Structure 1
């Protein structure tokens, strides 16, 4: 009986020690290597004409967006590569079928936060709903700085990496990445210049991390797994 209790205790200890999926993902880079404060222009001032024009664009979309546009914007609030499933268009494109690919893109997502969040904290651009009571977002709210858009950054980054893996679908993948960023504007949670800066940031990150040895090895393994699953 004591022997069984000891075994059970060991099993419990191992179980509690295991990290949840995705939580142990480490970024491929960070703000020390990619300093967006020196790469991006400063966001528009709160009292500037550009800020007012960007607010007007959000308010226009707020009354013209269709139910379909709204639904896609809400769905795209998720930050993961599986949002590209509609353009990959293959039932094998799932987390369960692609463990190496999934773990690799967990690191891609973590990289965005490691690079973008420090810049957001410095610029502290108010989100549209915090700047104007007229803005009614339809996606989850956030009090972090609006500039640059993290969702757009990671969408662009994921799109570039995925398009490199599946060049046969490069055009639709990059169009989907563009829509992913634009949906932050549709959702009423970002300004146009946040989206533009996010696309720049995502492109810079994608180019930078390709020089890292750990990225190269994990990319090749993830790419091979994906293309095999998709029969490419």
Structure 2
């Protein structure tokens, strides 16, 4: 199920990144240290945030009892990218909103619903 949506999610993320073309905090504040190479694509929305929240929202569909844990983990992943100097909080927020809208579209798609049902059977 996750492999099936990854190409479409990447298109959504990079379409938004190139539309807004926001520079990263490390570009504006060159004294920010970073332990990893800074990605050379725009910051907004955070791709990690969008991916993590998409996964959390889908896991919530499969395992509603642990929804809070999945959402907390997604937020931790996103905030760690802020701490690393790669994103602003608004990048994280935009990723979360994009993920919610992406998942809502998926949940209205019959082909995806079949994948979700197959995943539920495996769960």
TM-score, structure 1 as length reference: 0.50
Q: Name the structure with the higher helix share.
A: 2
Summarize the alignment of residues 17-166 of structure 1 with structure 2, pairs less than 5 Å apart: 104-166=1-63
Counterpart residue number, 1:220:
117
TM-score, structure 2 as length reference: 0.91
Does the aligned pair in 2 maintain the 1:127–1:143 contact within 8 Å?
A: no
Larger Rg: 1
The alpha carbon displacement at 1:141 in A equals 1.9
Gaps in structure 2 of 5+ consecutive residues:
none
Does the aligned pair in 2 maintain the 1:139–1:189 contact within 8 Å?
A: no
Gaps in structure 1 of 5+ consecutive residues:
1-103, 228-232
1:199 and 2:99 correspond: no
The alpha carbon displacement at 1:157 in A equals 0.7
Give the secondary structure class of the aligned counterpart of 1:138. coil
Counterpart residue number, 2:82:
185
Q: CA RMSD in A?
A: 1.3
Q: How many pairs does the alignment contain?
A: 123
Q: Distance in 2 between matches of 1:214 and 1:138?
A: 41
1:176 and 2:69 correspond: no
The alpha carbon displacement at 1:207 in A equals 0.8
Q: Distance in 2 between matches of 1:183 and 1:118?
A: 23
